[in-house]
Structure 1
Amino acid sequence: MGLHRCWHATLVIVSLLLSSLVDVSHTYDHESLDAFLCKQANKEIENPRTGVLYNVSLPSNFTGMQISVVRLRSFSLWMRGMNYSFFNLPPRSVSQSSAKRIVILFENLGYWSSHYYNVSNYTMVAPVFGVMAYSSSESAFIYQNIGFTIRGDPIRIRFPPVEQHGKNSTPICAKFSFGGLVKFRNMTKPYVCEARGQGHYTLVVPSSPKESYTRSHSKRFTKWWVLGFVIGFVGLVILVLILLALVKEAKRRRIRKLERNSSGELFDTFWIGETKLPLASSIRTQPILENEDAIR
C-alpha cells in the first residue's frame, strides 16, 4: 500500500513537471484569450448602457492587462467614430453585418504580450494593443465577432515612446493576422500605426544575431534542464522503490528461515505493520510436585 501511494505521488509530480515543460516550449493561445475576455465582459457587466465605456475586471493571474468595452449604435460609429486611449476610430467605420449595435473591445496586453504573441527574428518593443468588433444581442452583451471596415481615414494606434534599440533600429508596425501571419508596415508618425480593420498590433525592431541566439539558447537550456530533472527524479524514485521491495523480501525470507529451523512445533503468527512474526502458545505445562507426602 505504501509503495502504491509513493508511485501515485510520483506520477502526479512528473505530470506537473511535464506540463511546465510544455509551457516553456510554447506560447499561450491568443484566440482562447479573446474568447475568455468576451466571456469575462459578459459576466462582469450587467445591464450595459449604449455609449458608456466599461473597464473589465480580470482575475489576479491576468494582472497587467487592461481591457475596456463600449457598445455603440452602428449609425453613431459611422457618423462620429470614437477615440479611446491609444485608439482613434475615425468616422465612416462600418461593421461587416447588419447589426444595429456594435461592441468594440479594446485590449492592452501589457507585459503579457510576449506570452501570447511573438515575431520571428524581431523583438517587440511595445505592448500588444487589440481592437475587436462584436455584435450585441438581448441575451449577451458580446455575442459574435463581426469585424468592421474603414471607408474613410484609417484607424490610428498611438504607442507609448520606446527605448532606442541600436543606432539604425527604427521600430516598425506589426499586425498579427488570423492564422499566425504577421504583416509589417512603417509608422506614419513617431509611434503611430495605421490600420483598416480589427486586429492586434505592436512595434518591433529586427533582432540582432546575438539576441536571437541568446533567446533560443535560453529556451533550449530551460527545456533540457526540466527534462533532465524529470528523468533524474523518476530514476531516483524507481531506485528507492526497488530498495524498499528488496528490504521487504529479505524480511520475509528471514521469517521463513526461522520457521523452518524451529523444533517442529507449529507457531501461530501475527503482524506488526508489514512484518510477520511467530507467536508462541500462551498455554504452559502445569508444574508437578516431586514429594506430595512430605507436604501432607
Structure 2
Amino acid sequence: MNSKSLTCCLVFLLYTGLFSSTSPSSLIHVNSTTSVLNVTIPHSLSQSLENFALKALTTQHHTGALYRAILPENLSGIEVSIVRLTGKSLWNSGAKFSNVLIPARSVSVPPARRVAIVYQNLGNWSNHWYTVPGYRLIASVLGFRVLDVSDQDNVKEISLRIKNHVEISFRGLTNESDEKLLSRVRCVSFKAQTEDEEASHISRMVLPGVCYGSSHGDYSVIEPLESDKKKVESWRVWIVGFVLGFGLLGFLGIACTMVIRMLRTNKIQVMMERDADDGEVFERRWVGGSKMPSAAVTRTLPEPETGSLG
C-alpha cells in the first residue's frame, strides 16, 4: 500500500469514527472516491457534511428556510447549510442561498417531491482537498449537493437538470480593477459525480467575482502560479523581440539596397560624364599667355560635277 492510499484510509477511518453516532436512517451510502485533478477526495467528507446538515434539518421543519449545520471543532473553517424545498418550488422559482443562484426551470433527476440542497464552503480546507496544476486557489471552494428527502428513511443524493447556468458569487477577491481581475483569474468547477465526462473545467470569468456552472458540484477561482506567469511573459518577450528584430533587419536590408543602388547610379553617371569628356581629343595651342584647346580645321574637299552644261 502506497502513502497516498494509506492517507486516504486514515482519513476515512477518522471521519467514520467521528460520525458513527449519527442516525443510520440519515446516512448516504457511497463507497467510491472521486478523483479530481491530482487529488483524491473521499466521499466520506462530503457524506459527513451532509449528515450534519441533515441533522440540523431534522430539528427544523420549515420549508424554504436556510439552516446552518453545527460542525465539530476539528472541522472549524468549514461552513455547511441546508434548505428544504419542494420540487414544484424549485421548478417555479429556483433557489438563491449562500452565494449560489440556481435558476428557475430546474428539476431533480430522478424527480423528487421534496429536495434538500446542501451548501458547503470549505474555507481554509479548500487547498487541502483541491489543487489545480499550474494554478493556485485564491478563493474558498463553494459547492452544493442535491438530496432527495421525500422519504426520511431513504435519503439519497441526486442530480439536477438545469436549463440555464448556475451562478456562484465570490465576494471580496481583491481591490484591483475589474479589467485586471478578469484578465488574471479563471473560474474552475469540480464535478460532483465520477460519471461526468470531465472531472474539472477551467473557464474565463465574465463578470468580476462571478462564476457560472452547468451542474451541482464545487467551484472556485484560480490564478496562474508565478513561475507560469514568468514563462508566459518570457514567451511574450521572445515573440515581441523576434518580430521587432525581424522588422529591423528588413528595414536595414531595404535601406542598404537603396544606398547601393544610389551609389551605383552615381558611379555610372560619373563614368558617363568622364567618357563624354574623353570622347573627343582637342589639341592645345598657346594663344597669348594661355594654353587653349584647338580643334583641327578640316576643309571640305570639292567634288567634281558629273553633269554637262547645257
Report TM bin, short chain. Answer: 0.5 to 0.7
* Cα drift, residue 42 of structure 1: 2.8
Q: Structure 1 residues 78 and 210, CA, compared in 2 at 3 Å: closer, same or farther? A: closer
User: Is the counterpart of residue 118 in structure 1 residue 131 in structure 2?
Assistant: yes
Name the counterpart of 1:223. Answer: none
Q: Structure 1 residues 120 and 210, CA, compared in 2 at 3 Å: closer, same or farther? A: closer
Instruction: Identify the match of residue 37 of structure 1 among 35, 45, 49.
Output: 49
- Structure label with greater radius of gyration: 2
Name the counterpart of 1:157. Answer: 168
Q: Find the residue that maps to 1:29 and give its secondary structure.
A: strand
User: Is the counterpart of residue 200 in structure 1 residue 218 in structure 2?
Assistant: yes
Instruction: Identify the match of residue 101 of structure 2 among 50, 65, 88.
Output: 88
User: Is the counterpart of residue 77 in structure 1 residue 95 in structure 2?
Assistant: no
Q: Find the residue that maps to 2:88 and give its secondary structure.
A: helix
Matches within 5 A, 1:170-189: 170-177=184-191, 178-179=193-194, 181-189=199-207
Contact 1:101 1:136 in 2 (8 A): yes
**1:196-237 Cα shifts (integer Å, max 9, x gaps):** 21010000011122899xxxxxxxxxxxxxxxxxxxxxxxxx
Distance 1:30 1:187 in 2: 29
Distance 2:102 2:152 in 1: 27
> TM-score, length-normalised on structure 1?
0.57
Q: Find the residue that maps to 1:190 and give its secondary structure.
A: coil
Contact 1:119 1:182 in 2 (8 A): no
Contact 1:56 1:68 in 2 (8 A): yes
Contact 1:77 1:91 in 2 (8 A): yes
Distance 1:173 1:105 in 2: 21
* Cα drift, residue 45 of structure 1: 3.2
* Cα drift, residue 41 of structure 1: 2.2
Q: Find the residue that maps to 1:115 and give its secondary structure.
A: helix
Code of the residue aligned with 1:33 in structure 2: it is L
Contact 2:169 2:210 in 1 (8 A): yes
Q: Structure 1 residues 51 and 164, CA, compared in 2 at 3 Å: closer, same or farther? A: closer
Distance 2:142 2:184 in 1: 19
Distance 1:32 1:209 in 2: 35
User: Is the counterpart of residue 190 in structure 1 residue 208 in structure 2?
Assistant: yes
Contact 1:28 1:115 in 2 (8 A): no
Contact 2:113 2:150 in 1 (8 A): no
Q: Which segment is superposed worse, 95-104 or 47-56?
A: 47-56
Matches within 5 A, 1:1-296: 29-49=41-61, 50-140=63-153, 143-151=155-163, 153-163=164-174, 170-177=184-191, 178-179=193-194, 181-209=199-227
- Count of residues in Structure 1 that have an aligned counterpart in Structure 2: 190
Question: Identity of aligned pairs, percent?
Answer: 31
Contact 1:131 1:200 in 2 (8 A): yes
Give the unaligned 5+ runs of structure 2: 1-5, 12-37, 231-310
* Cα drift, residue 170 of structure 1: 1.4
Distance 1:94 1:84 in 2: 17
Contact 1:66 1:107 in 2 (8 A): yes
Give the unaligned 5+ runs of structure 1: 1-17, 213-296
Q: Quick one: higher RCO (CA 8 Å, sep 6+), 1 or 2?
A: 1
RMSD between aligned alpha carbons?
A: 3.0
Detail structure 1 runs of 4+ shifted over 6 Å in the superposition. Answer: none
Q: Find the residue that maps to 2:126 and give its secondary structure.
A: helix
* Cα drift, residue 31 of structure 1: 2.1
Q: Find the residue that maps to 1:45 and give its secondary structure.
A: helix
